[in-house]
Structure 1
Amino acid sequence: MARRRDLWTGAAPGANPFALPRGPLGWVAGRVLARTNRTQNAEVAGFLRALGGTSVLEVGHGPGILVELLARQYDTTVTGVDPSTEMVRMARGRNAEAVRAGRVRLWRASAEATGCDDASMDLVVSVNTVAMWPFLDEGLAEFQRVLRPGGRAVVTWHRYPPRFALTSEELDTVEAAMRKRFGAAERDRLPSSVVLSAAR
């Protein structure tokens, strides 16, 4: 991929419509993300199913594909937050019936300030957003805050295509930050994703 900005230095994602979808171009980016990330979201949903738990928060839900899949597999409310107004609208449209039924809650918020209550979630997951967070540890601190004891934090990123993948050093940085915050972390490889997870 093109040279990536330095990660987790406080820099904003800039004008890239895939990093922070805004306006009409952001809406188009959301449609593209819904199509291109569907397989990856499905395999992450399968990974989360094996972890158990009932209450789930997705941080950076984008067009709402994983929210939709999680709402089908969990019996309680699925919460999603995203910093993009366009993506919140798109995800609400995709999950309109579940939103009306109170099984899905979606609002605009960031990784470091989700607006969720302390110790309110069994699972917190981020798919392909960790490289857009301004500060890595602040996002992981928020994951820790909202997780119940025994809950799991899950951070995933693309494996393919290679131009989108994080470098081994960047993945090591995320894993080390999770170990520092949670005491331990695990790394798994799914067909399309690298998965980093830790228990509260």
Structure 2
Amino acid sequence: MEQRDTERPGTRHKELWTGEPPSANPFALPRGPLGRVAGWLLASANRGAQAEIMDVLDVPEGAHVLEVGHGPGVLIEMLAARPDITVTGVDPSAEMVRMAQRRNAAAVREGRVRIRLGGADSTCTDDESVDLVVSVNNVAMWPRLDDGIAEFHRVLRPGGRAVVTWHRVPARFRLTAEEFAAIESAVRYRFGGVERTELPSSVVFSATR
């Protein structure tokens, strides 16, 4: 097992993970008519990255998956295409919760998908109750990095996996080397190890509880 960092992750960075709520940027916390437009744009712009992530998730048979920051619900839709798994989605935006519920209405009615308000550090999920927890392209919007990763560790069953991704392209969304290092450090701090993978669209950090 890798040596854990002794410094609490996320404390060195001066702009991200300050504990402040997301900014008024409609893509950070979509709300109202502008938030719905942001949701439609996110559904289109992120579909390729989410399909790419779906290919590497390696979801176990019969798994319970938690997606944090599900946005308009495209990845939930991809996951729910497998009838053997159940999915819970949480997002801090009521607009995105409604949009994801509409997109996945049939699976919600069947009880295979549950979607509700929640954040990275407060998923309202029982201890050791999920097999996979995934966050796609929203880790930089969390109020506190380490609190979110701690929540991922809490809700995972032993042997479960955490997967956190952020944009590799387009370049205007890419984080600095220091910011990527902070994410890697936070995952290692909680899980004792971390794997970093660079896909065409995304940088992926994964760890096993």
Q: TM-score range by the shorter chain?
A: over 0.9
Give the Å deviation of 1:52: 2.6
Per-residue CA deviation, residues 14-55 of structure 1 (Å, 9 max, x unaligned), is 11000000111001000000000000010111111x253511
Mapped pair 1:182 → 2:191: yes
Give 1:52's aligned residue.
60
Equivalent residue, structure 1, for 2:85: 76
Residue in structure 2 matching 1:170, options 175, 179, 193: 179
2:115 alignment partner, one of 106, 112, 116:
106
- Report the Cα offset of residue 193 of structure 1: 0.5
TM-score (norm 2): 0.91
Could you tell me which residue of structure 1 aligns to residue 94 of structure 2? 85
Unaligned runs of 5+ in 1: none
Looking at structure 1, the residues matched to 194 and 154 of structure 2 have their Cα atoms a distance apart, in angstroms, of 17
Instruction: Give the length in aligned residue pairs.
Output: 195
* 2:51 corresponds to which of 42, 54, 63: 42
Instruction: Indicate the larger mover: 52-61 or 180-189.
Output: 52-61
Give the 3 Å change call, closer, same or farther, for CA 51–188 of structure 1 in structure 2: farther
When the two chains are superposed, the root-mean-square deviation of aligned CA atoms in Å is 1.1
Residues in 2 aligned to 1:103 and 1:52: alpha-carbon distance in whole angstroms? 15
Q: Runs of 4 or more off by more than 6 Å in structure 1?
A: none
The one-letter code sitting in structure 1 at the alignment partner of 2:71 is: G
SS at match of 2:153: helix
The alignment's TM-score, normalised by the length of structure 1, stands at 0.95
Q: Percent identity?
A: 65
Whole-angstrom CA distance in 2 between matches of 1:51 and 1:179: 22
What's the CA shift string for 1:66-122, capped at 9, x where partnerless?
000011136121110000000000000000000000011000011101011110001
Instruction: Return the alpha-carbon distance in structure 1 between the equivalents of residues 205 and 139 of structure 2.
Output: 11
